[in-house]
Amino acid sequence: MTNKIVVQTTCGSEADARRIARHLVELRLAACVAITPGLISTYHWKGAIEEDQECGLVIKTRRDLFASLATELRKVHPYEVPELIATPIVDGFAAYLEWMDSELQPPIELP
């Protein structure tokens, strides 16, 4: 098991996705953010079934940075309740995982 995670979120436009991605990378809370435009999301919201076109964001980071990343994401995300789901990276190409560390903030000690 690594200390790396993938965080997923969505937003309503490519412009918002690019703005969020750039913000997280500039703060070194994300080593990389992959944006996938053209997703269709179907969900319940305020008593109705909604269907919207969205952009997906796949954010590569470390577990110790999740709280800071979540705080920043909520500051800049246009949704009232943004998706924010973290999945552990069990294993990966060592050189890529090392690159991630080189691009992220120094580790934060977790309690």
The per-residue pLDDT for range 32-63, each reduced to its tens digit, is 999 999 999 999 999 999 999 999 999 999 99
Q: Is pLDDT of 110 > 80?
A: no
The per-residue pLDDT for range 75-94, each reduced to its tens digit, is 999 999 999 999 999 999 99
pTM for this predicted structure: 0.93
pLDDT of residue 73: 97
Residue spans of the domains in the chain: they are 4-95
The CA distance from 60 to 75, in Å, is 19
Averaged confidence pLDDT in the chain = 95
Class of domain 4-95: alpha beta
3-state DSSP of the chain: CCCEEEEEEEECCHHHHHHHHHHHHHCCCCCEEEEEEEEEEEEEECCEEEEEEEEEEEEEEEHHHHHHHHHHHHHHCCCCCCCCEEEECCCCCHHHHHHHHHHCCCCCCCC
Q: Is pLDDT of 111 > 90?
A: no
